[in-house]
Structure 1
Amino acid sequence: MSDLQPTQLLEQQLFSDVIRERRSVRNYDPAVKISREELTEILQEATLAPSSANLQPWRFLVIDSPELQQKLLPIAFNQQQVVEASAIIAILGDLENIKLAEKIYGQAVDAGFMPEQTASSFIERYTNMFASMPQEAIRQIVNVDCGLVSMQLMNIARAKGYDTVPMGGYDKGKFVEAFGISDRYTPVMLIAIGKAATPGRPTTRLPIEDVTFFNEIPQE
């Protein structure tokens, strides 16, 4: 029998509902516009996702102008969710995120989460580490962290009654050029967000025993 209290069981069930009900939705009701205030709230909660050294390399370009959504449409291979969704959130990775280390760790000190000496030690350590790290290694870290924040964003949107679809199908070169993205940022994915006009298609998953192994990987 579970030791969880009734309120804990309810919270657990609600979370389970969110992750089970999330679908990749490609048909949106264009009449539904999510306010910038609510979009900001969703993004704020999404940034509670973990990141390497807490450097939070994600950056969000929110495209909610109908004119710019139309501009994005051919770049995203004419996928109609680009213009039907309330907004498109471009997840960008900041390859120079180490530049904000002092601000990030300074906030931790101000909040009483760590002593100033510890923060200074972390800043020095990670600054030196990133200075000697190959660009491709930094890019890999950034991509992983941006994947974490993206999944968190989509689950938060579902919890608030909205729908999303992650999009890797777009011309990154043309996107960078059209929206003036500097070399400091690497495009990771686009996420359409809005209210479904038709439900997302249910999908299946591989049996858990096909993808989970304890202690060792079986030999093929």
Structure 2
Amino acid sequence: MTSTHTLQKPEAFLDVIQERRSVRTYDPTVKISREEMSEILKLSTLAPSSSNLQPWRFLVIDTPELKEKLLPIANNQQQVVEASAIIAVLGDVKSYEKAEKIYKQAVEAGFMPEETAKSFIERTVEMYSSLPSEVARQIVYTDGGLVSMQLMLVARSKGYDTVPMGGYNKAKFVEAFGISEQYVPVMLIAIGKAAKPGHQTTRLPLEDVVFFNEMK
């Protein structure tokens, strides 16, 4: 018997992984509709997160004026103004405030008994609200990285290209775009259609990066 969860076309998934490149030159005439962008982001949010708190928040910057505003903050990287949009991935250090909504949705979907959800809400809020600031930030960095990779793969599956960007002034970005202290900048992701293919790169052999049972 074949499981309904079995991936029907694993080769297509492998193509997405192998074809993804970091693209830095985009066709500025290509626009991604709000509808398609929303679909990309919705699929991206299927990524895992700590206690399923989904701390990612996305600021989609797609107007010419705001991309020009971002350009000097992002070290004048030309993809900022050429790409269809720049997605700022942020981490919400108070994501526990949505625990009740998240777990009530699970109850409504039939995934969890109401009493279990109530217990989860109480424990989750108590634990996450008392975390040291650095620990809370580390959690959202990790979850932000997971959702960012998923976003880039979803984009490639839909024929778009991306590049993750860590080279920008986070302090100036926060100030320029009015980001509150509740949100931690994780990275910027340029998304659009490549005007020039991304450079092919090599990877270290597995024996350089994989260890079994002990580090050598």
Which TM-score tier does this pair reach, normalised by the shorter chain?
over 0.9
Report deviation, 1:29.
0.3
The equivalent of 1:196 in structure 2 is 194
Q: Are the aligned partners of 2:164 and 2:189 in contact in 1 as well (CA < 8 Å)?
A: yes
Q: 1:175 aligns with which of 159, 173, 177?
A: 173
Name segments (4+ residues, structure 1) moved above 2 Å. Answer: none
Q: TM-score, normalised by structure 2?
A: 0.96
Report deviation, 1:132.
2.4
The equivalent of 1:118 in structure 2 is 116
Report deviation, 1:133.
1.3
Report deviation, 1:88.
0.2
Q: 1:158 aligns with which of 156, 159, 167?
A: 156
Q: TM-score, normalised by structure 1?
A: 0.94
Q: Are the aligned partners of 2:70 and 2:80 in contact in 1 as well (CA < 8 Å)?
A: yes
Report deviation, 1:177.
0.6
Report deviation, 1:117.
0.5
Specify the SS of the correspondent of 1:164: strand
Structure 1: give runs of 5+ residues left out of the alignment.
none
State the one-letter code of the partner of 1:186.
V
The CA distance in 1 between the partners of 2:44 and 2:182, in whole Å, is 22
The equivalent of 2:103 in structure 1 is 105
The correspondence of residues 48-59 of structure 1 with structure 2, limited to 5 A, is: 48-59=46-57
The CA distance in 2 between the partners of 1:132 and 1:161, in whole Å, is 43
Specify the SS of the correspondent of 1:215: coil
Report deviation, 1:40.
0.4
Identical-residue share of aligned pairs (%):
72
Give CA deviations for 1:31-67 in whole Å, capped at 9, x if unaligned: 1111110000000000000000000000000000110
Report deviation, 1:173.
0.6
The equivalent of 1:27 in structure 2 is 25
Report deviation, 1:214.
1.1
The correspondence of residues 52-91 of structure 1 with structure 2, limited to 5 A, is: 52-91=50-89
The equivalent of 2:134 in structure 1 is 136
State the one-letter code of the partner of 1:207.
P
Give CA deviations for 1:150-180 in whole Å, capped at 9, x if unaligned: 0000000000000000000000011001100
Report deviation, 1:217.
1.0
Equivalences, count: 214
The CA distance in 2 between the partners of 1:137 and 1:120, in whole Å, is 25
The equivalent of 2:213 in structure 1 is 215
Larger displacement relative to structure 2 (139-148 or 123-132): 123-132
Determine whether 1:184 maps to 2:182: yes
Structure 2: give runs of 5+ residues left out of the alignment.
none
The CA distance in 1 between the partners of 2:129 and 2:98, in whole Å, is 14
